[in-house]
């Protein structure tokens, strides 16, 4: 079973992700350099905070070329979590910097009518719908609930990329997958048994 690299670039809750990987029976290693990225067999890109800050941190550490090589040329399995998922897209309404551009998608802010009782950020537990078979999320689990904390959501241009949706004033993408690249808007490391099941799938599936 391959070690799971968890990228520490100053914008992620790395310790919680490492603990969840270990609970799932995997071996996790914290990495922070381009050389370590290049040596990864599987990689998790966690993230919390603002889009431009996350991209600035990746650039400042010289990580973007190595990340793009493993993601697009070596086809190493990569899982983005929350901001990490958003950084995999082309850009965000939250900032001005381009994203990594691995997924044809843009990040948009939740916007509701003035009389809406919904608050931003979307924070707490929400049910996720999984419409099609995929390596990460079961389609036969019934109601699956995950923990979210976000003000922005991914809008995919390719209808084949989303593998799960949730509803918060309208349907939004909760997870996507394209070949070796996956992203989840929720926090599996905070989502108890459903998060553990997803991490089990990523840890154990050589093609996750």
List, by residue number, the catalytic residues: 82, 187, 189
CA distances in angstroms from 94 to 6, 91, 149, 150, listed in the order given: 25, 9, 15, 12
- Indicate the angle between helix axes 192-204 and 14-23, nearest 10 degrees: 80
Alpha helices for the chain (secondary structure H): 14-23, 34-38, 51-60, 64-68, 83-87, 192-204
Q: Enumerate residues 6+ apart whose C-beta is below 8 A from 133.
A: 139
Largest CA distance in the chain: 51
Beta strands in the chain (DSSP E): 4-7, 28-31, 42-45, 78-81, 91-92, 105-109, 122-129, 144-150, 152-156, 162-167, 171-178, 181-184
């Amino acid at each position: 079973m391959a070690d799971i690299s968890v990228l520490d670039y100053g914008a992620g809750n790395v310790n919680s992700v490492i603990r969840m990987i270990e609970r799932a029976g995997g071996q996790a290693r914290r990495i922070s350099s381009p050389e370590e990225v290049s040596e990864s067999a599987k990689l998790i890109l966690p993230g919390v905070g603002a889009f431009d800050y996350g991209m600035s941190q990746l650039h400042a550490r010289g990580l973007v070329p190595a990340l793009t090589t493993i993601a697009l040329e070596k086809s190493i399995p990569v899982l983005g979590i929350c901001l990490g998922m958003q950084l995999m897209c082309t850009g965000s309404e939250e900032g001005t910097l381009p994203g990594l551009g691995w997924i044809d998608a843009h990040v948009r802010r939740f916007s509701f009518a003035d009389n809406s009782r919904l608050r931003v950020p979307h924070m707490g537990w929400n049910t996720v719908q999984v419409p099609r078979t995929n390596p990460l999320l079961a389609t036969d689990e019934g109601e699956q609930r995950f923990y979210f904390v976000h003000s922005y959501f991914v809008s995919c241009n390719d209808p084949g990329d989303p593998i799960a949706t949730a509803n918060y004033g309208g349907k939004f993408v909760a997870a996507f997958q394209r070949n070796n690249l996956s992203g989840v808007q929720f926090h599996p490391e905070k989502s108890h048994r459903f998060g553990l099941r997803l991490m089990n799938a990523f840890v154990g599936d050589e093609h996750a």
